[in-house]
Structure 1
Amino acid sequence: MPGTVFVELQPIQEPDRPVHPRYRRQRLSRALILLLRGLAWLPFPLLWALAYTLGALVHLFRRGGAVDINLQMCFPEWDKATRRKVARQHYMVLARSLLELGVQVFQPKRRLLNAVTIVGMEHLRAQQGKPVILLTPHFVGMNFAGSAVAEVVPLVAMYSANKDVAFNELLLKARSRFGAPGLISRQQGLRPILKALRAGKPLYYLPDMDFGARDSVFVPFFGHPAATITAVSRIAKAADAVVVPLVVRQLGWWKGYEARFYPGWDAFPSGDEVADAVYMNQFVEARVREMPEQYFWVHRRFGTSPPGTPNRYKPARRP
């Protein structure tokens, strides 16, 4: 029309809003979970080959971290080549345990159950009618093989919530899918644990992490003072429970896992929480020496230091 002016409207440009790092992590975590779900369809040998390759690559970029510091502290008698070899093997078996989470959560149960051999059940049966604490050190296969144990033994287990919401959901699903175990967060305290023990459910308990100085004593672990919780002896005393160790070993090619029960501990608790913590650490240390590459070395086991002792995981300040 004459006199009409046409104006081309430009789209309104909204300012870019920064994405909070937490949401970025959530997207990354959910992408990783989808990848684990897809990889879970691979035959075990192919899945393990992929995991070992991934672990070896990660080791190339993780030199000087907690794994290397822990191995240097715990095995000073080894030369550098030996420590480097064990560190590399550790990342390989750790990567395998991560990729197997997909099998644990998304595959038919029988696939996991057929991959785990349970040994020494007679030691658990010998405690029939008594409250039992299944003391399970932090070896890389503890979640995978623990599920097989939960399928045949009604368990209750403590857990610490992961800060990553998506990954925490995955871990909870993995831990609760087999045998319907009772899951108790550390924030709930000891009362529900004692109730479950007295009801006849063994407690699946992982005692060998650094939870800080509170409720801990500093006792030797590989010759170094380590903050060690005294909850094992306190729970055993309160519930009149027997401690039965359960140790998980990741086996080699064409094999899965071994979950081995050990004889129940006599005269435990002894009435001396420090002596009990020493005894526990000595047992864990002996098992670590049998398969050093499989212990959870990525954890900063010596992160809490006695007063006046420097943190070994922090680089020294330059003068």
Structure 2
Amino acid sequence: MYDLDGVTVLRRFTIGAGETMLSNELNLLISSNVNGAYTFTVKVKPSLPGPVTPLNTPITSKLFIWVPTVEATDYTLWWGETTDILDRMVHTGFTNADPLAIEPSVSLVPPTITLEPLWIAGSPVNSIPAFEPEFDTTFKVKLLIGAVDYTAYMVLDPAPSGEGHNNFHFTIFVRKGTLTIEKRLKAGSTMEENQTFLFLVIGPTGTYQVALQGEASKTIVGLKLGTYTVKELTDWSFRYEVDNITVEPSGAALPDTVADGKKVQLTVPNHDLKVIFINRKTTDKWLSGDSYAVNLQGQADYTVDRREEEDGS
């Protein structure tokens, strides 16, 4: 047993073979979670015969409890990326609130600390080492020593998102990509009033239909990283043929051939894409010279009139 300086030996106890009994006070001391002064007794019953000199000198010792410290960090990724949730929690050591606390000897083996993420809100956890969230997700830190939950006794340095909050400690933020479709008309072509162009977008997050009126643009937001096919439905705007398609940035365009469209790759460097469709007007007429229609309006009345004439009426 050492004095408060951690060096001076007050008493040495040698527990030999035989029956040993520790007082209830010592049992309480072993399970304590706070600093404090404790008195305990040790009784030893020798296993060998011979005279025994009792020792009843009272000794008061002060116990300092060192508690684990943990640092939590936020993280930001793009939808479609993964992260290890355990990387957001780091056991940084042990601390004691009392400035007079003696640091444990280097020969003292510290307890094994286990940290677990406790989900609070956001995307369900599909995997801890390869978590792929769709939405911002918050967690608490759970600390175990062995199988015992010591979360209430740890000293936590929360992430910036968790500062001032008791219900969560860190957040994994999710960013999402965008895809803009823009319609332009080739120089020299004219745009009819109220002319509409339709587009189809197919990708990891589903299928989208986009309608543009005239030279305009629309942006699809909340997209996951991956490959997207963007094409114009030219049957709808048959008088305007696709003359050229460009992608910004150009490095996002894939070499795949798509009729009246492009295949693009949404990535972390290229997370905001634009596909520009340039059309040229091929005719000013709605119908060609080969187009015709059979007009049956009034045919029934005309037949009835002829029958009446044949009957002489």
Could you say whether these structures have the same fold, taking a TM-score greater than 0.5 normalized by the shorter chain as the test? Answer: no
With structure 1 as the length reference, what TM-score do the two structures score? 0.20
Q: Which has the higher helix share?
A: 1
Greater relative CO (CA pairs within 8 A, separation 6+): 1
With structure 2 as the length reference, what TM-score do the two structures score? 0.20
